[in-house]
Amino acid sequence: MIKHIVFWRLNGETPAARHSQATAIKQALEALNGRIPGLLHLEVGIDVSRDADAAHVVLYSEFEDQAALEAYHHHPEHQKVAPLVRAARSERRVVDYEA
């Protein structure tokens, strides 16, 4: 199994704007559950700490294997969501690891 974790800081100028962006990202990404082969689990969390060093949004997902993760990146349903995330992010960090 591959675990794929992504953290984003968002570019909204106010906490309300960032929360709106985060909510839209959460809804769009979580809608991918059950729609992409090899994607076992996907959840999105929105930061509640408001710590200056915190990311605003985190994606936690599990895939059958590395091939399934690669297929996810190119899947048409994921490609529909990617522009929403790219437009809202100011920073991205990712970790993929075998479990």
With a cut of 90, say whether residue 40 has pLDDT above it: yes
Mean per-residue pLDDT of the chain: 97
Residue 50 is predicted with a pLDDT of 86
pLDDT band at 11 (very low <50, low <70, confident <90, very high): very high
- The pTM for the full model equals 0.94
Number of domains the chain is built from: 1
Find the domain containing 85 and state its range. 2-98
Query: Can you give the CATH number for the domain in which 25 is found?
Result: 3.30.70.100
Long-range residue pairs from 26-31, CB within 8 A, at least 24 positions apart, any chain:
26/57, 28/80, 28/81, 28/84, 28/85, 29/59, 29/81, 29/85
